[in-house]
């Protein structure tokens, strides 16, 4: 049984992709009552990963590897340890509840199947991220999360705000993906492996490398953009334009925590240095305080939750930066704490918006009278968010204070920052989880009714778990938290999660946090005036600065485009060739080695001279004829003459290749040109003379390059290797074909892909039918 589970890890990751493919053909059957069946996919995966918890608790690390591109050291290697198990269970467990919630929330939506398809892809990509041991495959899955989240955030694509938010999120996280690619490539080169597990034995080599700072900065860039750290945080509030299931899934338990996971996973490899720890502490502290302050000035429930999420992510980065066992323990616990209460609050917000039609916190009150189960879930989540005993959040908050208090000389400052952040997060949690349900019910909401149980049961389950785990922390202590802390390189004493530690300083700080936070909630009321006040500072906000840069860059691009592009392909080709002539010509003038040795030339034969004359005549006829078909025929003659030259010099394989390609090209040209109008004069004789001179110069340049190549030493190990192994390894006698198809197969494949994309574009243009409105 365990062996079977072991072998299924790759299939488990691919299940989401397979589910999405299945929806392409059968999605129309899952738009009605059967939509709930989609939730069986994440539920099955949750049960699958839960089966590993006992083995992980016993200290086992489960690995599985499939060869992908072994020649490049790239494989599909997966590792399941304490850290990856926590994330896998969050992805699938909360995923199950979100899938079920969606069945009611988007009931009757014409694109419900498409939405489930995007969710399936995203879930699979996230599982790939947290389970990948090979950093190249991790990058691939990382990018898939960005792409799938783009479609999820922009699901309401008829709304301009949704489209803009999706593009912004993709731009920020996509840039982080490029940084990650650069970072992992350099890291793999330095470590001599792309396996994270194998890198652990090369930690000192990596730290002593001249590229260490660059690697760390690139990894930071990827993590900070994905996990919305200041100043890259602004894409996340904009992403709240997405449907509530997206906000819940992406922004509480999965996507935004991918950056946190990346930092946790690389802490044993790149951590324990001043650069690593100090940067994370500074960025995390700045983010958590900055975003927590912003929650005071928001009136939209999703806006409040967005900034409180950013603040919580800052707390996690801050704790990883501290790097002590206490801090890493607090981070592992807080990941779960935050996932439970924040997913609950997002789902509750979705119900409120779905039933009342508003998320304006200044208009919401008394909803407990019509949405009692939802009110219970919201209040329980707010209690956990506030860290009020006996909630799970109480443990998480105490562990944070314990980590900061034990951090040497900076303990006081760091603890103060943590207290301020937690006070403001408590305020935000009370606004989102308690404010809408207390007070008098407005008359406009008297007809609000309780939605389907599929909507209110998921948040109630999550909120209840937040209390149960607080009461019985042993549920997760040995099976999840201890293995996770061990996986982060802290294999010290056994951890103990307890709700009560007696009367001490940490308890006093918790009580202060709760008291001040509750007082702030009763004193400070959210208002549009406060929101308008903070809006006056938008001109210095990171988002504004980035948008201004983007606008300026776009303006510069339009200027340069108008300057150098006039719509004529001949002009573009001329510019490219002229650039190549100047750049390459200058280099050749400085470094030309070839010297003409007429004695080494072979004697010209009559048929060689005649063939060259035919080529010259064909070229001249092609240039000066006024018939397209005649020009194509003349070019065909030139091509056949080149084939003959290959034959003369004992290269029949090249001759056949040239003949086949040239014949096909002539036929395609004839088919295309036959549909075009007669010659039109778009240039005068001066332009044609210029083009002719440029062509001759370019031809001369190519000739010189060819002669330079001939002057190089002929002995080549690569040539001998190809000749000796073409048949042995690739079973091909045509060495040129073997090189193209096998030895340089990836390069050829990419060329084919480019041509295919170009062909699809041309075909689309040929099929395009513009109306008069489109033309305008």
Residues 122-143 pLDDT 10s: 999 999 999 999 999 999 999 9
Mean pLDDT of 706-710: 79
Neighbouring CB atoms inside 10 A of 461's CB total: 19
Cα(730)–Cα(743) distance, integer angstroms: 9
652 or 95: whose pLDDT is higher?
Answer: 95
**pLDDT of 7 strictly over 60:** no
Averaged pLDDT score across all residues of the chain: 87
Q: Rounded to whole angstroms, how far apart are CA atoms 230 and 312?
A: 12
* Per-residue pLDDT at 657: 83
Spell out the domains of the chain, with CATH numbers in brackets: 277-526 (no CATH), 568-726 (1.20.120)
Inform me whether the pLDDT recorded for 757 exceeds 50: yes
Helix (H) or strand (E) holding 63: strand 62-69
Q: pLDDT at position 679, please?
A: 62
The predicted model scores a pTM of 0.81
For residue 67, list its beta bridge partners: 75
Distance between CA 65 and CA 265 in Å, rounded?
Answer: 18
Instruction: Please state the separation of Cα 457 from the chain's center in Å.
Output: 32
Contact 458, 552 (CB under 8 A): no
What is the arithmetic mean of pLDDT over 228-246? Answer: 90
Phi, psi for 300 (deg, rounded to 5):
-85, 130
User: Cα separation of 382 and 425, whole Å?
Assistant: 10
Give 493's DSSP letter.
S
Please classify residue 214 by burial: count the beta carbons closer than 10 Å to its beta carbon, then call 0-12 exposed, 13-18 middle and 19+ buried.
middle
Residues in the chain: 776
Which residues are within 8 A (CB) of 287 and not within 5 positions of it... i.e. 6 or more apart? 228, 229, 230, 233, 310, 311, 313, 314, 317, 318
Spell out the residues 6+ positions from residue 65 whose beta carbon is closer than 8 angstroms to its own. 75, 76, 77, 78, 133
656-668 mean pLDDT: 85
Residue 31 has pLDDT above 90, yes or no: no
Residue 46 Cα distances to 53, 60, 84, 89, angstroms? 11, 19, 13, 6
Task: Quote the pLDDT of residue 350.
Answer: 93
């Amino acid at each position: 049984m365990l062996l079977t589970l072991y072998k299924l890890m790759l299939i488990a990751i691919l299940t989401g992709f397979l589910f999405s493919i299945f929806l392409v053909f059968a999605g129309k059957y899952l738009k009605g009552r059967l939509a709930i069946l989609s939730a069986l996919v994440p539920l099955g995966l949750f049960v699958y990963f839960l089966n590993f918890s006992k083995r992980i608790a016993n200290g086992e690390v489960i690995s599985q590897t499939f060869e992908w591109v072994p020649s490049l050291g790239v494989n599909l290697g997966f590792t399941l340890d304490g850290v990856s198990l926590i994330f896998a269970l969050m992805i699938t467990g909360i995923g199950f509840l979100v899938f079920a919630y969606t069945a009611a929330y988007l009931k009757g939506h014409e694109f419900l199947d498409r939405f489930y398809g995007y969710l399936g892809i995203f879930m699979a990509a996230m599982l790939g991220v947290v389970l990948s041991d090979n950093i190249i495959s991790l990058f691939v899955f990382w990018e898939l999360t960005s792409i799938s989240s783009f479609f999820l955030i922009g699901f309401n694509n008829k709304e301009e705000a949704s489209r803009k938010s999706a593009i912004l999120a993709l731009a920020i996280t996509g840039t982080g993906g490029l940084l990650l690619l650069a970072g992992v490539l350099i890291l793999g080169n330095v470590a001599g492996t792309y396996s994270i597990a194998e890198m652990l034995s090369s930690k000192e080599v990596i730290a002593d490398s001249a590229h260490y700072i660059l690697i760390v900065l690139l990894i930071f860039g990827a993590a900070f953009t994905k996990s919305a750290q200041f100043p890259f945080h602004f894409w996340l509030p904009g992403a709240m334009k997405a449907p509530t299931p997206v906000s819940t899934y992406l922004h509480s338990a999965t996507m935004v925590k991918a950056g946190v996971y990346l930092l946790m996973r690389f802490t044993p490899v790149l951590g324990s240095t001043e650069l690593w720890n100090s940067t994370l502490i500074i960025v995390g502290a700045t983010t958590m305080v900055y975003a927590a302050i912003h929650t005071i000035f928001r009136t939209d429930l999703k806006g409040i939750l967005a900034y409180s999420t950013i603040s919580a992510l800052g707390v996690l980065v801050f704790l990883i930066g501290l790097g002590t066992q206490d801090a890493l323990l607090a981070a592992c616990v807080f990941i779960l704490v935050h996932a439970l209460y924040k997913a609950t609050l997002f789902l509750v917000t979705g119900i409120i918006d779905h039933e009342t039609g508003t998320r304006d916190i200044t208009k919401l009150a008394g909803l407990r009278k019509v949405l009692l189960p939802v009110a219970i879930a919201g209040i329980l989540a707010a209690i956990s968010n506030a860290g009020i005993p006996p909630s799970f959040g109480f443990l998480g908050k105490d562990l944070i204070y314990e980590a900061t208090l034990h951090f040497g000389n900076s303990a006081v400052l760091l603890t103060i920052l943590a207290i301020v952040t937690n006070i403001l997060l408590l305020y935000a949690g009370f606004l989102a989880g308690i404010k809408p349900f207390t007070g008098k019910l407005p008359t406009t909401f008297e007809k609000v009714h309780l939605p389907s149980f599929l909507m209110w049961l998921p948040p109630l389950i999550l909120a209840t778990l937040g209390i149960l785990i607080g009461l019985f922390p042993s549920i997760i202590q040995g099976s999840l938290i201890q293995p996770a802390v061990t996986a982060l390189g802290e294999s010290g004493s056994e951890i103990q999660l307890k709700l009560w530690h007696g009367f001490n300083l940490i308890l006093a700080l918790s009580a202060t946090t709760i008291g001040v936070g509750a007082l702030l909630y009763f004193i400070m009321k959210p208002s549009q005036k406060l929101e308008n006040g903070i809006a006056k500072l938008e001109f210095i906000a990171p988002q504004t600065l980035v948008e201004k840069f983007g606008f300026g860059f776009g303006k510069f691009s339009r200027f340069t485009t108008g300057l150098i592009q006039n719509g004529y392909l001949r002009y573009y080709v001329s510019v490219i060739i002229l650039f190549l002539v100047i750049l390459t010509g200058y280099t050749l003038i400085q470094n030309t080695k070839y010297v003409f040795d007429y004695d080494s030339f072979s004697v010209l034969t009559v048929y060689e001279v005649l063939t060259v004359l035919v080529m010259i005549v064909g070229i001249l006829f092609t240039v000066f004829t006024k018939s397209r078909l005649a020009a194509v025929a003349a070019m065909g003659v030139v091509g056949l003459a080149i084939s003959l030259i290959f034959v003369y010099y004992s290269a029949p394989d090249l001759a056949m290749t040239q003949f086949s390609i040239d014949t096909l090209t002539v036929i395609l040209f004839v088919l295309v040109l036959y549909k075009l109008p007669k010659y039109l004069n778009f240039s005068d004789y001066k332009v044609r003379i210029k083009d002719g001179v440029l062509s001759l110069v370019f031809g001369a340049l190519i000739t010189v390059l060819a002669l330079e190549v001939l002057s190089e030493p002929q002995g080549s190990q690569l040539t001998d290797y190809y000749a000796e192994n073409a048949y042995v390894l690739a079973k091909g006698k045509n060495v040129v074909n073997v090189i193209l198809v096998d030895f340089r197969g990836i390069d050829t494949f990419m060329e084919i892909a480019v041509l295919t994309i170009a062909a699809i574009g041309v075909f689309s243009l040929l099929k395009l039918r513009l109306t008069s409105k489109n033309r305008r």
